[in-house]
Chains A and B, each alone.
Chain A
Amino acid sequence: MIAVIEPTWYLLLAAMLFGIGAFGLMVRRNPLIMFMCVELMLNAANLTFVAMATRLNDINGQTAVFFVLVVAAAEVVVGLGILVSILRRRPGATADDLAELKG
């Protein structure tokens, strides 16, 4: 076994995290949990950015993560705001109940 923890390992970990998040987003029907799955995917991107920054020895990757954190915070606030305004009127809605608009 090679005695070095390579950035590649972190990248593979991030890829798995991204896959789990994407899977969850596709199968779960509770909007709150779908938001959480998006957070998982964003974290996969963060992990990749930092691992790549380490590999490349370039601080820009870490700066990008900083921005993602800020944006994710704003995104969650807005998403939950929209959700609250819906669910207050209709408790227990799932993504499938939101079927007023048919594709």
Chain B
Amino acid sequence: MSDATFLEFVVFFSAAVMILGGAVGVITMKNPVHAALGLVLTLFGVAVQFVAMQAHFLAAVQVIVYAGAIVVLFLFVIMLLGVDESMDLSIEPIPIQRPLAAVMAVGLVGLVGAAIVRARDALIIAPGDGIATAADAGTHDANIKQLATNLYGDHVFAFQLTSVLLIVAVAGTVLLTRKWPKDVADTESSDA
């Protein structure tokens, strides 16, 4: 990484604010639609950070797949089910639960954060093949090419099997959400 310019700091911190702000929005918003919009903000922020780290292809895919497909799917389901009315946040099933969860989450972040900070110098540096970036002279698609070579070389089998995963997700979901024929009565569980 080269010396950061003022602009790079601005990009990092504004994207960080987007990410954390969006995330906080997801967990505090009462309306699921607002939460989904918070999620979009986070996902865009992550995409910006990807660009800042020279992972251009992933940034594009992040926007297309996550913001373009997954969040739209969320919104679509929210609309379909009509559950967009506010959820009552004041109900706490177990009174201790929220502070306990907060303590656990803060502890988790503190632990991981401390490990990361302490590992700052100990991390192994650059044993890999090196990452080509678009900044390399004359090869604007270098990152995509390198990613593709890796994907279709070492990881091609896992890649092929993800196609099976997508088939099964589609086939199964269609069946799960299909309506039953009218003449088949609902059989509530016998001992319910």
A residues touching B (Cβ–Cβ < 8 Å)? 3-13, 15-24, 26-30, 32-33, 35-37, 39-40, 43, 46-47, 50-51, 53-60, 62-63, 65-67, 69-78, 80-85, 87-89, 91-92, 94, 96, 100
* Contact status A73-B130, CB under 8 Å: no
16 additional A-B pairs beyond A15-B116, A29-B93, beta carbons within 8 Å, are A3-B3, A8-B116, A10-B53, A13-B19, A19-B109, A27-B97, A46-B58, A53-B131, A54-B1, A59-B147, A62-B143, A67-B155, A69-B62, A77-B73, A87-B83, A92-B85
* Contact status B42-A17, CB under 8 Å: yes
Q: Classify the interface of chain A: helix, strand, loop or mixed.
A: helix
A63–B147 alpha-carbon span in the complex (Å): 6
A46–B54 alpha-carbon span in the complex (Å): 14
29 pairs of residues in contact across A and B, judged by CB atoms under 8 Å: A5-B1, A5-B52, A8-B117, A12-B116, A13-B49, A15-B112, A15-B116, A20-B105, A23-B102, A27-B27, A27-B101, A29-B87, A32-B78, A37-B26, A39-B39, A46-B46, A50-B53, A50-B55, A62-B57, A62-B131, A63-B150, A65-B58, A69-B58, A69-B66, A70-B65, A71-B162, A74-B169, A81-B173, A89-B186
